[in-house]
Amino acid sequence: MTASSPTSLPRESRAIRTLSLPGLIRLVTEIDDNGPISRHRGSLQGALGDLGTGQLRHAIDTARDLGVIHARGHASARYQLTASGEDLAELYDTAARWARTRQLPSPTGDFVARVQYALQTQDGDPEHSGAATEPTPARAALSEWLRAHPRVLHENVAHSSHAALEEGRAA
């Protein structure tokens, strides 16, 4: 992050943990890649079937709290991205591309693991860990997203009962 005050670091760290939740990454990218998810019963589980019910519910609640998705009650397209959600999907793509070109966290890492790694890696390329370097493209995009959408810095969504489960398990 750029020029963070000591008091903003815990908020930024919490925001990064929240944005790195596997269920949130999967939900946002699923809607971005394939369009709104229908309100018909089973559509959400069908699209994200490898996520448990609690993990899926936490992802939806987190996305709503952050204002990155909205639900339309009677329309056939129930969950769709807001403008903030579209920006977050672009951030996730930038992060995954950066990690993929460096084969991080491993040559066979999946999209979620790459996004998590890129968002949680400190500024600079990991190969130059001693010297101060420019932020990675992923961290620069993260900083820009947080500036454009400061709501995430003030939300306390990562501390629910499902957060510990969500943080520790990649989807």
Q: Is 61 helix (H, G, I), strand (E, B) or coil?
A: helix
Element (H, E) at 136: none
CA distance 103 to 69: 30
Closest CA to 21 of 54, 47, 43, 49: 54
CB atoms within 10 A of CB 130: 6
Per-residue pLDDT tens listing for the chain (171 residues)? 444 554 567 889 999 999 999 999 999 999 999 999 886 767 888 888 888 889 989 999 999 999 999 987 666 668 999 999 999 999 999 999 999 999 999 999 999 999 999 999 876 555 545 455 678 999 999 999 999 999 888 866 544 444 444 444 433
- On whether the CB atoms of residues 10 and 42 are closer than 8 A, the answer is no
**Residues β-bridged to residue 38:** 77
Distance CA 110, CA 99 (A): 10
Given the structure tokens 């903030």, which residue do they identify?
Answer: 84
